[in-house]
Amino acid sequence: MAAGGGGSGDPLAPAGVPCAFSPHGQAYFALASTDGHLRVWETANNRLHQEYVPSAHLSGTCTCLAWAPVRLQAKESPQRKKRKSEALGTSNQTDLLALGTAVGSILLYSTVKGELHSKLTSGGHDNRVNCIQWHQDSGCLYSCSDDKHIVEWNVQTCKVKCKWKGDNSSVSSLCISPDGKMLLSAGRTIKLWVLETKEVYRHFTGHATPVSSLMFTTIRPPNESQPFDGITGLYFLSGAVHDRLLNVWQVRSENKEKNAVMSFTVTDEPVYIDLTLSENKEEPVKLAVVCRDGQVHLFEHILNGYCKKPLTSNCTIQIASPGKGKKSTPKPIPILAAGFCSDKMSLLLVYGNWFQPAIERVALNSKETHMCLVRDISNCWAPKVETAITKVRTPVMNAEAKVLVPGLPGHHAAIKPAPPPAEGKESKRKLTGNEVSIEERLGAMDIDAKKGKDELQTNSFPVLLTQGLESNDFEMLNKVLQTRNLNLIKKTVLRMPLHAVIPLLQELTKRLQGHPNSAVLMVQWLKCVLTIHASYLSTLPDLVPQLGTLYQLMESRVKTFQKLSHLHGKLILLITQVTASEKTKGAASPDQKAKVVYEEESSEEESDDEMPDKDSDDNWDEDEEEKETETDEDVDEENEQEDEDGEENGEDRDAASEKELNGDSDLDPENENESEEE
C-alpha cells in the first residue's frame, strides 16, 4: 500500500529503503536494498522467494517501487471485445513490480517469471525517479522525478503517453484518487490534477520540506446527503522529510481553504506508512506509521472535520533483543515496515536487518498503549545469510538408506574373485604388496581433514567479517583482519556484501590511527577494498564526507614521505660506505705479511722498535743478508761513538734505514711491479 523512500546522500532525501507489501493478500514483501538488489520475501514462512540484480544495480540503484494493483475481472463490453488481446495482456500484470532508479529509468519485473518484463526509458525522465503509482483501471503508470516532470506511461507499448511539468522544484510523491480521475502530486506544495486535461484543480500549502508520502484516507465524503462528484469532501494524508507531523487535508469545493484540517504527531521522521480506508463516515481510519527510530505508532480516528491539536498515537510497538547475561541491557531491534492484514485486527511487522529481515504477524489489542516484543534474531541470522549468498541446497539423506553397488546383496563393495590355490603364499605377498598400508591411509585422511578445515575457514571469512562489522565484535574482527595471506584478503573482499564496504573502510581508518605494526596489515586490506570495490564507491554520492577522515590521514602521512625518503637515501649512503670500509680492512689475509712499509718520521722510538722486527724476517734473499751484515757493522760503529755524540747516532740510523729501504726496492723485482701498478 505504501512504499518507503530510498536513502541517499541528499539531506532532504526520504529515510529508509524502498519496500512494499504485495496487494494480493500481502503474500510477498519486496525490498530494494542499497546495494541495488531486489529481494522478494514470503510473509507466511519468512523465506526468500526471489532475488533480482539489475544490470546497472551499482550506477542506477532502486529509489522507489510499487506493486501492480489487483484488477477485478469484469464482463467485457462489445467495444472491449475487439481489444481482447490487450485485455489479456493487462490481466497478467498483477505480478508486475515497478522499480524506479536513480538514473531515471523504470524497470518492470515479473515475479512469476522471475525476470525483467520490460524497461521504460525512452522519452521519460533524465533524473532520479522519486515515486511510482499504478492506475487501478487503465493499466497506466505514473512517475515523478527530480527533473520537475510527471510522466504517464503506457505499460503495453512501454512508451510515454503524456509528460508535463509538475512543479518548479522536484516532484517527490504521487497518489491517484479512488475513482481514478484525479492525481495528487507533491514537491514543496501539493497539487491536485485532473488526469483528463492535466490541469490543476486545487492547491494546498504543503510542508516546509519535500513531501515523502501521499495517500487518500477516505472513499466517500462524510456528508453523504450532498451529491458526490468523486473528489469533493475526501481526506488525504501527507508526510514530509524531517517532519514529525502527518497532516490530513480535505478536498473542499471552495478554493480558499488550503490548510490542513488535522495532524498526527510521531516521535521521528516517518519511514513507512500504511492505513485502512474508511468506507463510510462512522468507520474510523486506522493508521500505522513506522518511524526512523524503529518504532511503530498506531492511530485510530474518525475524520469528521477540523481538529486544532495534533493527535497522539493510541498504541506504540517496539521490538528488543533479550540481552545476554543478567546485567546486560536489551538492545532495540528496528522495525522496517508494517502493514495491516485483511482483517484489520492484526499487523504484519518486518524487523531486523534489510539483508535478512524477520516477518511476523502480531494481533492488535486496543487496550494496550505500549507493546514491547522481545525477539532473539542473533541465532537465526547467520545461516540464512549463508544460504542467501550461495543458494546451494544440500539433499536430505535418510539415515536408513543403503547405497547399493554391484556384488552380493547387503555388501557395499564388489567381492574380488579368490586367487587360484596353486600360487599359495606368493599370491598373498603380491596382494599385500599392492595394497596401501594403514599408516599411509591414516596420513591421507589427516591431510584431507586439514584441507577441509582450511577451506571452511577461508569460506567463512566474509560471513565473519560481515557479522563483526554489524555487531562491532572486536575479537571477531581481529580474527579476520590480522591475517597476512594476501590471496585470502582478496577472496574475502571479493565475497563480502556491498553494504559492508563503508563500515569496513571506517574500521580500517580507526586501526590505521593505532599502532604502526597493525597499520602495515590494514594497508593491505585498504588496497584490496579500494581496487576491488572502486566502481561501487564511485556511485556513492556521500563518499567524500564518509571517507574524509581516511583522506586526511593519508594526506598527513604522505606529507612526511618526502622527508623520510631523503633520510632513507642518506642512511643508505652511510651504510654502503661503512660496509665498503669494513670490506677493505678485512680484505688482506692474515697469512701474508707486508714486505715494505713506509712510515712518516713521527718518532725515533718507533723506528728503533720496528727495525729488529724487519731484521728478523725469514724471507729475505741473499742480497738482503749481505745488507744485514753491513747494517750490523754500522750498528757496532755507532755503539762505539755513543759517548761522543748521541744525536749523530740517531741520524746515522735513519740514513741506514732509508738506504736499506731504497736498496730493497731496487733489488726486489716484485716491488718494482707493485710501484708501477700503483
Q: Is 390 helix (H, G, I), strand (E, B) or coil?
A: helix
User: Which of 205-219, 387-401, 412-426, 546-560 comes out lowest in average pLDDT?
Assistant: 412-426
- pLDDT given for residue 675 in this prediction: 44
Burial of residue 179 (CB within 10 Å: 0-12, 13-18, 19+) is middle
Write the CA distances from 192 to 168, 172, 199, 206, 414, integer angstroms.
15, 14, 8, 12, 83
Phi and psi dihedrals of 266, rounded to 5?
Answer: -130, 175
Residue 73 has pLDDT above 70, yes or no: no
Spatial contact of 512 and 522, defined as CB atoms under 8 Å apart: yes
* Residue 67 near residue 32, CB atoms below 8 Å: no
In which band, very low, low, confident or very high, does the pLDDT at 638 lie, cut at 50, 70 and 90? low
Which three cell numbers mark 54?
A: 539489475
Q: Which amino acid is at 224?
A: E
Q: Which amino acid is at 134?
A: W
Are the C-beta atoms of 32 and 38 separated by less than 8 Å? yes
Query: What Cα–Cα distance (Å) separates residue 49 from each residue in 207, 349, 588?
Result: 38, 18, 84
| Amino acid code (one letter) for 492 | T
pLDDT digits (tens, 9 = 90+) for 263-281: 999 999 999 999 998 888 7
The 10 Å Cβ neighbour count of residue 68 is 24
CB distance 207 to 238 below 8 Å: yes
Among the residue ranges 146-155, 228-237, 451-460, 571-580, the one predicted with the least confidence is: 451-460
Q: What pLDDT score was predicted for residue 517?
A: 73
Spatial contact of 142 and 89, defined as CB atoms under 8 Å apart? no
Confidence at residue 457, expressed as pLDDT on a 0 to 100 scale: 52
Contact assessment for residue 634 and residue 656, using Cβ atoms and an 8 Å cutoff: yes
Burial class for 572, CB neighbours closer than 10 Å (0-12, 13-18, 19+) = exposed
In the predicted model, is pLDDT for residue 99 greater than 60?
A: yes
pLDDT at 285 over 80: yes
Least confident span in 7-11, 484-488, 561-565, 577-581: 7-11
Place of cell 726486489: 668
Q: How far apart are CA 260 and CA 252, in angstroms?
A: 11
Ordered alpha helix ranges (H), 206-263: none
- Label residue 26 exposed, middle or buried (CB < 10 Å: 0-12, 13-18, 19+): buried
pLDDT tops 50 at residue 494: yes
Residue 434 main-chain phi, psi, to 5 deg: -80, -25
User: Does the structure show a pLDDT above 60 at 449?
Assistant: no
Does position 7 have pLDDT exceeding 60, yes or no? no
Separation of alpha carbons 17 and 57, rounded Å: 15
Closest CA to 63 of 142, 3, 117: 3
Q: What are phi and psi of 67, to 5 degrees?
A: -80, 150
Residue 371 CB coordination number (10 Å)? 15
Read off the amino acid at residue 64: C
CA distance 179 to 187: 23
Residue whose C-alpha cell reads 585422511 in the numeric block: 445
Beta-bridge partners for 99: 65, 107
Name residues whose C-beta falls within 8 Å of residue 590's C-beta, 6 or more positions apart in sequence.
none
Task: Please determine, for residue 424, whether its predicted confidence score (pLDDT) is greater than 80.
Answer: no
Which residues, other chains included, contact 176 with Cβ-Cβ below 8 Å and sequence gap of 6+? Answer: 133, 135, 136, 142, 182, 183, 184
Predicted confidence (pLDDT) at residue 289 exceeds the cutoff of 80: yes
Judge whether 338 and 296 are in contact, CB under 8 Å.
yes
CA–CA dist 229, 581 (Å, integer):
106
Dihedral sign for Cα atoms in the order 662, 663, 666, 668: negative
Which of these, 477, 473, 474, 452, lies nearest to 462 by C-alpha position? Answer: 477
Mean model confidence pLDDT for the chain: 76
pLDDT (0 to 100) of residue 444: 66
Q: Is 620 left (phi over 0), alpha (psi -120 to 50) or beta?
A: beta
pLDDT reading at 72 higher than 80: no
* Selected residue with higher pLDDT from 618 and 59: 59
Write the pLDDT tens digit of every residue in 368-412: 889 999 888 875 544 343 344 444 555 555 666 665 545 444 444
pLDDT at 542: 80
What is the rounded CA–CA span in Å between residue 629 and residue 636? 11
Residue 617: burial class (beta carbons within 10 Å; 0-12, 13-18, 19+): exposed
With CA atoms as reference, report the closest residue to 167 among 197, 193, 189: 189
Lowest mean pLDDT among 325-339, 479-493, 596-610: 596-610
Spatial contact of 601 and 651, defined as CB atoms under 8 Å apart: no
Under a CB-based contact definition with an 8 Å cutoff, are residues 665 and 671 in contact?
yes
Give per-residue pLDDT as tens, 18-33: 999 998 788 999 999 8
- Confidence (pLDDT) at 358: 92
Residues shown for the chain: 678
Whether 248 and 217 have beta carbons less than 8 Å apart is answered as: yes
- Say what the pLDDT of residue 132 is: 95
- CB under 8 Å to 669, separation ≥6 — which residues? none
pLDDT band at 629 (very low <50, low <70, confident <90, very high): low
Which of 66-75, 221-230, 240-249, 390-399 has the largest mean confidence? 240-249
pLDDT at site 198: 92
Cα gap 297→315, rounded to integer Å = 6
Q: State the pLDDT at residue 667.
A: 44
Instruction: Give residue 227's pLDDT.
Output: 77
Separation of alpha carbons 496 and 477, rounded Å: 14
> What pLDDT does residue 453 have?
41
d(CA 112, CA 385): 24
Residues 213, 101: Cα–Cα separation, whole Å = 18
Angle between helices 669-677 and 646-667 (to 10 degrees): 80
Q: Per-residue pLDDT averaged across 637-658, rounded?
A: 52
Q: What is the pLDDT of residue 627?
A: 53
What's residue 454's pLDDT? 42
593 — phi, psi (to 5°)? -120, 145
Q: Which residue has the higher pLDDT, 185 or 632?
A: 185
Nearest Cα residue to 271 out of 300, 241, 236: 241
147-156, 184-193, 464-473, 512-521: least confident range: 512-521
pLDDT for residue 84: 40
One-letter amino acid identity for 53? V
